[in-house]
Amino acid sequence: MANRTCSGLTMIQSILRLEFAVFLFGLLAIVVYRLLTGGISTRNLLFHVDPATGVNSFSPEHVQLVFFTLAAAGYYILSVAAMPTGLPDVPQWLLWTQTGSGTVYLGGKSFRLFGS
């Protein structure tokens, strides 16, 4: 009886893992589709729009935030792929990098708002 329960749990775990993977890939497909068709706008992703004048200007803090976010996501996805049995711990340096990137972004935004 113990073997039967154990194999039943293993089957449920396998089904749940499959459902989760299908959900994630479906979500990824929807986001990529919306990005490609313009449903999710990336027009001003690397620019700052001045609310007073409506003029777009290049924003280095946006660029570094996007770069470090994509690099961190890529690193973690590769870490997950290398260890498929569970989720790896997030390294301390990665947390500090993301914290620094967010701080630079907010500093630049604050300077634009209050500094000039």
Looking at the structure, do residues 107 and 74 belong to the same domain, yes or no? yes
Number of domains in the chain: 2
Of 77, 96, 99, 73, nearest to 88 (Cα)? 77
The values of phi and psi at residue 42, to 5°, are: -120, 20
Looking at the structure, do residues 1 and 58 belong to the same domain, yes or no? no
The proportion of the chain whose per-residue pLDDT surpasses 70, expressed as a percent, equals 93
Looking at the structure, do residues 63 and 114 belong to the same domain, yes or no? yes
Looking at the structure, do residues 38 and 55 belong to the same domain, yes or no? no
Q: Which helix (H) or strand (E) holds 8?
A: helix 2-37
Helix, strand or coil, per DSSP, at residue 84: coil
pLDDT given at position 56:
85
- Which range of 10-14, 59-63, 94-98 scores highest in mean pLDDT? It is 94-98
Confidence band, pLDDT 50/70/90 cuts, at residue 74: very high
Asked whether the predicted pLDDT for residue 5 surpasses 60, the reply is: no
Looking at the structure, do residues 37 and 50 belong to the same domain, yes or no? no
Looking at the structure, do residues 31 and 78 belong to the same domain, yes or no? no
Mean pLDDT over the full length of the chain: 86
Q: What is the pTM for the complete model shown?
A: 0.70
The structure tokens listed for 77 are 């996805």
Longest dimension (CA), the chain: 74
Looking at the structure, do residues 95 and 56 belong to the same domain, yes or no? yes
Q: Tens digit of pLDDT for each residue in 35-44?
A: 999 898 888 8
Looking at the structure, do residues 85 and 58 belong to the same domain, yes or no? yes
Q: Domain span at residue 104?
A: 43-116
End position of a domain, from candidates 27, 42, 57: 42
Asked if residues 69 and 101 have their Cβ atoms less than 8 Å apart, the reply is yes
